[in-house]
C-alpha cells in the first residue's frame, strides 16, 4: 500500500523520518501515534521514568506500531538497525468522517503481523540466562531477516553489542563478556564488518 498517497488523499498530515543506522527518535508523549516502517529494520523500546528500557519488538516494513496517549509517564524510542524511513501520523485523524475505511483495514492487517514480533521479543526476554537470551535474539533475527547461502545464515546488517544489550535488557559490559564466550565456543561466527553468521543453524541451541 502506498501510504504517502493514501494519507495525502485522505488529508491526513504525516511526518517521515530518515534514520541512519544507530540513529533513534523519541515519540511524542501526548499523542496517539501510528508508526509505519516504510523501509529498513528498526526496534522499539519503552522508556520508564527511571530510564529503564524495555525492548518491545524488532520491526520492518510489514509491521506498524501504535502508541497510545494514555501512557503519560512512559515514552518510546525507535532505533534503526539499518538505514530506515519511518512514517508517523496522529491516530485521531482516523476518526474523521471523510476517512476511507480501507485505511483501517490495511492497518489492522499489518498489526496482525506485528503481534508475532511482540511474541518473539517476549520469548527472548523470558530466557533467564543472559547467554540464552543473546542466542535467542540472534536466532530470532536470523529467522526474520537472515539471508541463506551455502547452508549458512547471515544477519544482513551489523548488530552492535550496544544494541544487543538494549534488546536483551542487560549492560553492554556484560554483553561484551558473553559474546566473547559465545564466539570462543564457535556457536556463532563473525564475518567482515561484524556481520554475524551461523554456519549450521542446527548447532544453535539453548543448552
Single pTM value for the model? 0.84
Q: What is d(CA 60, CA 47) in angstroms, rounded to the nearest whole number?
A: 21
Burial class (CB in 10 A: 0-12, 13-18, 19+), 46: middle
- In this predicted structure, what is the pLDDT of residue 113? 87
> pLDDT, tens digit, for every residue of 24-42?
999 876 778 899 999 999 9
> What pLDDT is attached to residue 139?
87
Cα–Cα–Cα angle for 47, 50, 54, rounded to 5 degrees: 35
pLDDT at 15: 93
Q: For 69-98, how does the pLDDT look when each residue is reduced to its tens digit (9 = 90+)?
A: 777 788 899 999 999 999 999 888 887 767
What CA–CA distance (Å, rounded) separates 77 from 91? 18
Domains in the chain with CATH codes? 3-114 (2.60.120.10), 125-203 (1.10.10.10)
- pLDDT number for residue 206: 45
What pLDDT score does 192 carry?
A: 52
The whole-angstrom separation of Cα 102 and Cα 112 is 16
Which residues in the chain land under pLDDT 70? 1, 29, 97, 151, 187, 189-195, 197, 199-207
Amino acid at each position: 500500500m502506498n501510504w504517502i498517497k493514501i494519507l495525502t488523499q485522505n488529508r491526513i498530515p504525516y511526518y517521515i523520518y530518515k534514520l541512519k543506522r544507530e540513529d533513534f527518535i523519541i515519540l511524542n508523549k501526548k499523542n496517539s501515534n501510528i508508526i509505519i516502517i516504510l523501509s529498513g529494520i528498526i526496534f522499539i523500546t519503552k522508556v520508564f521514568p527511571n530510564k529503564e528500557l524495555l525492548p518491545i519488538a524488532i520491526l520492518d516494513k510489514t509491521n506498524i506500531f501504535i502508541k497510545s496517549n494514555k501512557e503519560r509517564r512512559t515514552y518510546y524510542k525507535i532505533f534503526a538497525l539499518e538505514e530506515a524511513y519511518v512514517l508517523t501520523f496522529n491516530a485521531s485523524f482516523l476518526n474523521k468522517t471523510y476517512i476511507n475505511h480501507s485505511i483501517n483495514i490495511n492497518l489492522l492487517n499489518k498489526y496482525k503481523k506485528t503481534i508475532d514480533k511482540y511474541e518473539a521479543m517476549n520469548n527472548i526476554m523470558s530466557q533467564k540466562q543472559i547467554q540464552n537470551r543473546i542466542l535467542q535474539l540472534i536466532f530470532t533475527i536470523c529467522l526474520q531477516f537472515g539471508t541463506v547461502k551455502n547452508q549458512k545464515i547471515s544477519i544482513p546488517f551489523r548488530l552492535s553489542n550496544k544494541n544487543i544489550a538494549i534488546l536483551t535488557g542487560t549492560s553492554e559490559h556484560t554483553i561484551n563478556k558473553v559474546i566473547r564466550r559465545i564466539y570462543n565456543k564457535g556457536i556463532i561466527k563473525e564475518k567482515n564488518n561484524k556481520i554475524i553468521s551461523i554456519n549450521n543453524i542446527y548447532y544453535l541451541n539453548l543448552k
